[in-house]
Structure 1
Amino acid sequence: MAAPDVAAPPDRFDLEVETLIIGAGACGLVAALAAHETDQDVLLIEADAVPSGSTALSAGLIPAPGTRFQRDAGIDDSPDLFARDIQAKAHGENDPDLVQAMADTVGPVIEWLADTHGLPFSLVADFDYPGHSRRRMHGLPSRSGRELIDALRTRVETLDIPLICDRRATRLFAQGSRMAGAQLTLPDGSTETVGCDRLILACNGFGGNRAMVSEHMAEIDNAIWFGHDGNRGEAVQWGHALGARTRHLGAYQGHGNVAHPHGILITWATVTEGGIQVNTHGNRFWNEAQGYSEAARAVLKQPDGIAWVVFDARIAEIARQFEDFKNAENQGAVLNDETLDGLAHKTGLPADALREAVTDIPADGSDAFGRMWGLPALAPPFCAVKVTGALFHTQGGLEVDPNTAKVCKTSGGGFDNLYAAGGAACGVSGKGDSGYLSGNGLLAAVTLGFIAGRRL
């Protein structure tokens, strides 16, 4: 397939709409619902046979402060506190206005999706995510992104918002600062054109484009790609051709807790609730409390790029609220034993080293790696999963106006009618991987998608 490009508009289009949205992940679906409420004529296109994207591969959790779900749980939170948490994790590298816009918007969006569209959100109230000073993760019952994407798609279909799949946008039509439409390529190679008054790019990032990954984030080039293969970087490539500003193209979300060779995400609750990671020598190698994004590089630096996450039955019970963890158990990825010696035998880890790694965990205070403790000690029966590091999705992209989601121009100002959201836009994860705060991907998807959709 030809590389995405930009051209002058044709004399006529096969179809014309008011708002064209490219990409039907969580971002595009939320944008479509928001645009529909303002009586816009909307067309949502998707390259896959059914909507999926990075959302379907995630746990589907969205961080939001000040919601009624938090209040019902007795949690006092605010957008300003959430904004401080985001900036603290990203070392102050984010655009503060963008951070504040997302922090202010996400709570109302969660309640809008719940109250207007019937999505059964609930608060994850039984464990903490690194960097969040409050429990503010919201998800659907199965705690899976697949359920989230299916629920959003169901609402789009119920409201008769046009959604056409098997259409990949390969060309944008533009006249100066104004977008005129897009060319879509069908599976058989034929094309059709759609003219529009507004164009929203919700086509995610570029993690599936290995050349772009090597160029912008070579340190994660050897990680397995755990995102959606459709994330090919069209938004950034179109942006370069149009003269759009990009920012933080080296930012990404990794994950150092992907079951190997099963390829199943193991929730980071296995660590935050008191578990540890050891390498194939049975030794701990870093402060696991830093976050699962940084864990990808830490794990990949170990022999063969492999580690074992070690936890216990108490933690496993917490992890079972996630569909992925239950799948990992069903596929035999989670090993169990009543003793550490028995677990060492099943994992092939040196028994002495494994016992030392577990028994060296202090009851309180910090350990040799600087990790603070105060959780129950690991106790029989013990559990372990072999894991590796993975690249989940990129966090840099087109720079947008925080209040409108309009794409900014390198020459100053913004495009008249071009918007970017979700992975197509620069998020709030700083410049690299360590700035990623849990949930940042879906945070950018639902907030910027909502803002772009509502903007007339």
Structure 2
Amino acid sequence: MTTKAVPLKANGLQRGIRRTSHVDAEVHVGVAIVGGGACGLTAALMLADAGVECVVLERDAVPGGSTALSSGFIPAPGTRVQHAHGVTDDSPSRFAADIQTKAHGRAAPALAAAYAASIGPALDALQARHGLEWILLDGFLYPGHSVHRMHALASKTGAALMASLQAAVEAAGIPVLTQAVVDTLVLDAEDRVIGIDYQRPDGRRESLACEALLLACNGFGGNPAMVRALLPDMAEAAFGGHVGNDGSAILWGEALGARLRDLGGYQGHGSWVTPQGALMSWAVMMEGGAQINRAGRRFHDETQGYSEAAVQVLAQPGGIAWNVFDTPLLALARGFPDFCEAEAAGALRRCETVAELAACIACDEAELRRTLDGLRDGTVQPDGRVFTRGLDAPYFAVKVTGALFHTQGGLDTTSDMRVLREDGRPFANLLAAGGAAGGVSGNAVWGYLSGNGLLSAVAGGYIAARTAAALIHPMKATHAE
């Protein structure tokens, strides 16, 4: 869904446009990339492979962003790793269909198809050319996926993914300028981007000239004013994303008369461990765990997805729920580093009996017993879920709340990542991808398919590199694929 550009409050954030015919800068590159997360670094690597000079500008001292805070899981069909695991019945069309099913048909069709077709080649290229060794998570299906297609590095963390991308970028000799806060885009009279202005930690202002610009600076989840205006359900939620997600791309887009899309879309998470502030894997819910509120009851179908679960949890008394599971599911949870960190921080409670579990949750024991007994007979629950087995003592419980992780709306783009004006015409050399662009989750929390964030980042960066290479050196564009 496109969104008419409207003035947005930005917490005093200044993001501007400067018009001139020439950029007075010492450095001129083919492509400038704003943002050093998975999107920006993937694009940089693909551009380097194509022989196109680029530079990445990152606001932080060390690139990380939302990627480093994520689980680092990326869905992709048709990869070498997927085939090696015997998964041969997946395809881009099947993946695109899963994206649309989760989004109730409201994901941008051309973009969903482009991402689904590009993410497999992108992961294969990162593995073959840059040493990222993927594994396939084939022990369970994430919500909304009809086949095992979730990829990760062996350590299963976003921080490890970022470390591997950074190492690859360094090995490729790609310059990454850190502690560089880009605040101004420089365009000529014909709306071509010719450079950017940025600020250094000591207050110095510098400029960089470029032939094309990729905005890979994520969304607006770290901008409270924008969240209140556009995502009122998350206005008081914990924020599990990166504070650098300040909405810069949207503010530049508004100033340029760009079209915005799906600003009500976002990834929430209904399993944000509190008060420790860590993520607990939703795999435990998918494999038989239950979320129980202070009344001792389940309150939604957990298998629908962790994103919409954020709203469900926040609607409970105190905005709190308890993830309840048993010994086999504890073993599954301990396979995820994020859970191990939360456990080490004291988040896990062990309860030998229903009475102890009721005391832990501070709920009525009889009501809790009825809830747990109701999971054992295999009947359809009132919310539609069917548990294949009950939970057995000892019980384990983790206190959670709902959180906002990152937004899924942003600049509207063509399927090759060129930013669109309000009238639907693309800018000549301005691209956006990852969280800076509108994603494939529709315009609501329930449209988020597991992994859509990194799908947009990696596939978007891969596609944007191909487009930028074609703009600058048409004969080299094929090498970015």
The answer to whether the superposition gives a TM-score over 0.5 is yes
Q: Report the CA distance between 1:337 and its aligned residue.
A: 2.5
Amino acid at match of 2:104: H
- Equivalent position of 1:136 in the other structure: 149
- Equivalent position of 2:452 in the other structure: 440
- Equivalent position of 1:263 in the other structure: 277
> How far, CA to CA, are the matches of 2:84 and 2:67 in structure 1?
27
Does 330-339 or 48-57 show the bigger shift?
Answer: 330-339
The answer (yes or no) to whether the contact 1:205–1:232 under 8 Å persists in 2 is yes
- Equivalent position of 1:61 in the other structure: 73
Q: Show CA shifts across 1:327-355 (max 9, x none).
A: 01111101112322222333433322222
- Equivalent position of 2:478 in the other structure: none
2:326 aligned to which of 292, 312, 317: 312
Q: Quick check: 1:386 aligned with 2:386?
A: no
- Equivalent position of 2:28 in the other structure: 16
Does 377-386 or 78-87 show the bigger shift?
Answer: 377-386
1:300 aligned to which of 314, 321, 342: 314
Amino acid at match of 1:250: G
The answer (yes or no) to whether the contact 2:324–2:395 under 8 Å persists in 1 is yes
Does 82-91 or 210-219 show the bigger shift?
Answer: 210-219
- Equivalent position of 2:223 in the other structure: 209
- Equivalent position of 1:171 in the other structure: 184
Q: Report the CA distance between 1:11 and its aligned residue.
A: 4.9
Q: How many residues are paired up?
A: 454
> How far, CA to CA, are the matches of 1:87 and 1:180 in structure 2?
37
- Equivalent position of 1:6 in the other structure: 17
Q: Show CA shifts across 1:303-339 (max 9, x none).
A: 1101101011111111222110010111110111232
> How far, CA to CA, are the matches of 2:348 and 2:397 in structure 1?
6
- Equivalent position of 2:134 in the other structure: 121
Q: Report the CA distance between 1:15 and its aligned residue.
A: 2.0
Q: Show CA shifts across 1:124-153 (max 9, x none).
A: 111111111111110011211000001000
Matches within 5 A, 1:354-433: 354-374=368-388, 376-402=389-415, 404-433=416-445
Q: Report the CA distance between 1:166 and its aligned residue.
A: 0.3
Matches within 5 A, 1:28-39: 28-39=40-51
Q: Report the CA distance between 1:73 and its aligned residue.
A: 2.2
> How far, CA to CA, are the matches of 1:338 and 1:115 in structure 2?
49
Q: Show CA shifts across 1:157-209 (max 9, x none).
A: 11110011000100000123210111111112221000100100000000011
- Equivalent position of 2:464 in the other structure: 452
> How far, CA to CA, are the matches of 1:11 and 1:428 in structure 2?
35
SS in 2 for 1:155: helix
> How far, CA to CA, are the matches of 1:83 and 1:268 in structure 2?
22
The answer (yes or no) to whether the contact 1:185–1:191 under 8 Å persists in 2 is yes
1:275 aligned to which of 289, 310, 316: 289
Q: Quick check: 1:199 aligned with 2:210?
A: no
The answer (yes or no) to whether the contact 1:142–1:321 under 8 Å persists in 2 is no
The answer (yes or no) to whether the contact 1:358–1:378 under 8 Å persists in 2 is yes
1:92 aligned to which of 102, 105, 108: 105
Q: Report the CA distance between 1:67 and its aligned residue.
A: 1.8
Matches within 5 A, 1:215-254: 215-254=229-268
> How far, CA to CA, are the matches of 1:248 and 1:260 in structure 2?
30
Q: Report the CA distance between 1:215 and its aligned residue.
A: 1.2
Q: Alignment RMSD, CA only?
A: 1.3
The answer (yes or no) to whether the contact 1:328–1:334 under 8 Å persists in 2 is yes
Q: Report the CA distance between 1:2 and its aligned residue.
A: 5.1
- Equivalent position of 2:8 in the other structure: none
The answer (yes or no) to whether the contact 1:126–1:318 under 8 Å persists in 2 is no
Amino acid at match of 2:321: A
> How far, CA to CA, are the matches of 1:234 and 1:19 in structure 2?
19
The answer (yes or no) to whether the contact 1:54–1:227 under 8 Å persists in 2 is yes
Q: Show CA shifts across 1:358-405 (max 9, x none).
A: 11114434211111333x321222111000000000000111111x21
Long gaps (5+) in structure 1: none
Q: Show CA shifts across 1:47-87 (max 9, x none).
A: 00000100011000000112222222222211111111000
The answer (yes or no) to whether the contact 2:192–2:428 under 8 Å persists in 1 is yes
The answer (yes or no) to whether the contact 1:14–1:192 under 8 Å persists in 2 is no
The answer (yes or no) to whether the contact 1:244–1:410 under 8 Å persists in 2 is yes
Long gaps (5+) in structure 2: 1-11, 470-481
Does 56-65 or 333-342 show the bigger shift?
Answer: 333-342
Amino acid at match of 1:123: L
Amino acid at match of 1:393: H
Does 414-423 or 183-192 show the bigger shift?
Answer: 183-192
Amino acid at match of 1:92: G
Does 146-155 or 9-18 show the bigger shift?
Answer: 9-18
> How far, CA to CA, are the matches of 1:134 and 1:3 in structure 2?
44
> How far, CA to CA, are the matches of 2:336 and 2:128 in structure 1?
24
Amino acid at match of 1:143: K
Amino acid at match of 2:93: D
- Equivalent position of 1:325 in the other structure: 339
The answer (yes or no) to whether the contact 1:174–1:181 under 8 Å persists in 2 is yes
The answer (yes or no) to whether the contact 1:32–1:453 under 8 Å persists in 2 is yes
The answer (yes or no) to whether the contact 1:120–1:140 under 8 Å persists in 2 is yes
The answer (yes or no) to whether the contact 1:397–1:425 under 8 Å persists in 2 is yes
Amino acid at match of 1:160: G
1:70 aligned to which of 82, 104, 114: 82
Runs of 4+ in 1 over 6 A off after TM superposition: none
Amino acid at match of 2:370: E
